[in-house]
Structures are given as C-alpha cells and as structure tokens.
Amino acid sequence: MPLTTQATPTTYWLEHAWLGTHAEPGVTVDTADGRITAVRTGTDTPPPGATTLRGLTLPGLANAHSHAFHRALRGVVQVGTGTFWTWREVMYGVADRLTPDTYYALARAAYAEMALAGITCVGEFHYLHHAQGGTRYDDPNAMGEALIAAAADAGIRITLLDTAYLSAGFGAPPDHHQRRFCDGTAERWAERADALKERAHARIGAAIHSVRAVPADQLGTVADWARQRQAPLHVHLSEQTAENDACHEAHGCTPTRLLADHGALGSRTTAVHATHLTTEDIELLGGSRTGVCMCPTTERDLADGIGPAARLQGRGSTLSLGSDSHAVIDLLEEARAMELDERLRTRTRGHWTAAALLRAATADGHAALGWDDAGALETGALADLTTIALDSVRTAGPAPRLAAETAVFAASAADVRHTVVGGRQIVRDGVHTLVPDVPTALAESIAAVRG
C-alpha cells in the first residue's frame, strides 16, 4: 500500500523527543489527516491507546540531494584508484542500462533503504530523462514518473528536482551517454517539465545540473521557470576545480558569479557541494541567502575536498545535507561528518552544536526541498517522525539529556527504530512495512542493471 494520508487519527507517545533545542522526556503527539494536531509534554507514561516510540524521536530526516541510480555503484567504484572523472564513466555505464521499469525498482529499493535510515523526504536530482540515444519515451516524463511512484511505494515524500542538462561542457554537444539527459534547449526542457504534476507525496522543483552542462544564455530560462512557480532550484556548484578552471576560460569568472549574473541565486536556490569557492563566491551565496547542501560522505568518497560550510553559514547560507551518490545512506553520518571534516581542516572543535546539525538534517533540509510545513515536532506540521534507539551498542550509556549529542556523534542509520510519514508507521521496530525485504529488493534491482 503506497503512501497516503493516514486514515484514522493516531497518538504517539515519545519516550524522548527532540523539540528543536533539547531532548524532552515523555512527549505525546496526536496526529490526524497526516499532520500533528497536538504536542503535549510532561506525560510520563503512554496514554491509553497510544503507540509507544522508545528512544529519541526527531522530526523526519530530509535527504536534500540524491541520485537514486547511483545506489548501484556502492562497492563497485571503491575498487582501485581514480578520480571523479573516471568514477563518472562507471556511473554512465549504469545510466545507459536503465529503463523506466528498472529505474522504478532500483529507486523503490533505495528509497526504502532511506526510510530504514529515518529519511522521510528525498530531493531527487533527476537528469536521466530519455531512452538511449536521446529518444523520448511515449511519455516524455516516464523516468521522472517512475521516481515519483517509487517514492510513494517506499512510503516517503519526494521533491523531484527535474534537471536541465544540455551540454558536455561549456557549449560542447552532449556525448553519447549524455544524450539521455538532454532536451536540446532550456525551452524544451521547460516544456517537458511543465507536464509534471505534484501530488500529496510529491513536489516538483528544478535543477541546473551545473554551469558546464547548461549554457550561460539558458541559465535564466531554468531560473525563471522555478521563480514563476515558487519552486526549489538546485545546482551542482564548484564540486571540482576543473569546473572552475573551465568556467574561467569560457566566461572569465567563477561558476558562482555566472549564476549570480543570470539570476539563478536566491533564497529558493540550493547550491550542492560548493566545495571550491573564492571569498567573493561565499559573499555572493550568503548575501543572496542561497542555501548550500553539503554531501560529506560523497565528497570524501570522490576526494572532492572539504567545502567551506562554516564560512557559508556565517555569511547567511542555510545548510542542508544529502547522501548524493549513496556511498552510504545515513543522514546522521552526513551531519557528523560536516562537523568532523571542519575539525580536520581547522584543528579546532565545536563548529556546530548537535542541535544545529539536527536542524540541517530536518527543518532546513525540508525547506530546501519546498516542504516548509515539515521538519518540526509542533502543531500543524506534517506528522513525519524518526525514532533513534538509545540502547544500542553505539548509543547506550549517555544520560537522556544528551540524547541529541548521542544521536549525532554516536548513532548511525542502523539505530533507527521507527519511521512515521504522514502519521503512518513506515518502519516499525526496524522493519519496513511496505517493502519487507529491502536487502533482496536492492540486490535484485542492482543485478538487473549491472554490466
């Protein structure tokens, strides 16, 4: 049964709840029609009929940057050495073999893994639009619709960030792999994206794959499409120094400056990675209130570098987190890695509190995906909850008042005990209620696209 609004009101008793600033013991949450209708503190025991969630319950986690089909690369691209660019060739090989049916199966399994990790909403940066050679399917959005259906059947929310990808690099035509990604022009991309429809569990946003993949004179078309719809706009930004060098050669400026000059920055825009920035870039992003999504596990897996997250936040950029290539799917690890990577760079500790890191993984991630009504345990918010065990071998020991610190700095996705989306339990006691055998679903869907 796919994700729908809960049919009947449900009351949950939370042994401990993270209320934005602290862990509160004994909290009761009433839900109806997919939303929280009341939050009551000081309830030492479960009310009659309430469902008990033992551990620390947070708002559902938001994975702000995903490429679902990259889940098939785990363990494969870790063999030997290489660079981002050699990794990309392996990735293209998987993309070449996907169809709407195999993409649905792989995404459903990957999204089910996300639910097991406490993720209740995913931002899918979607650029695999067409059949091999660039031929359009009878439904030009068949691949996007497969992702939307996969999210529903895995029980989570999705923002489909439909991505413009028009060039192999600064005006060069797409290569034979990239023809599947390409609509020809930004205008044709917009026409196709216009046909995508939102539904209860799915919202539609836009993405500029990168400044190398969308010609400068077409950046504004994508930005305008998102602006007119008040939709999220995401963009890969300065992940590699080679992108910066090529942008300087083509346009005499950084990718950030190019985006700014074409109206693509702003409070509804999220720059992904933002690893190699100048001081001016940081000022442009922060000053325009452009958000930044950090993906530490992918950035370290690909040897991209450590982005200036603390400086960006200090200048005004809101931070979110993503699992990107799914080297692991664990938003707690992404949150922890952002702090620990900054410690390695600066040789100082304490750049973010546990509360700040949890906010990046919850409320700020949801806002980056256009779900401003999610990410908080408060009346009126979407009833999306994640419960982390406090009695596992990783989390046992600390006092309950340190539950947030325990979750961020000790727990992993394996400690997620329950996941609730729209008031319905999607994961109960570590078991997915819609996809009971997630490992088999992953193994079979990956085998179907393996070369």
Q: Tell me the catalytic residues.
A: 273, 324
CA-derived radius of gyration, the chain: 21
Evaluate whether 25 touches 390 at the Cβ level (below 8 Å). Answer: no
The 3-class SS string of 52-119 reads: EEEEEEEECEEEEEECHHHHHHCCCCCCCCCCHHHHHHHHHHHHHCCCHHHHHHHHHHHHHHHHHCCE
C-alpha distances (whole Å) from 124 to each of 45, 61, 143, 406 are 40, 15, 12, 29
Number of residues that make up the chain: 451
Evaluate whether 205 touches 173 at the Cβ level (below 8 Å). Answer: no
| Structure letter (DSSP) for residue 256 | H
Q: Rounded to a whole number, what is the distance in angstroms from the first to the last CA of the chain? A: 32
Sign of the Cα torsion 37, 38, 44, 48 reads: negative
Centre a 10 Å sphere on the Cβ of residue 435 and count the other Cβ atoms it contains.
22
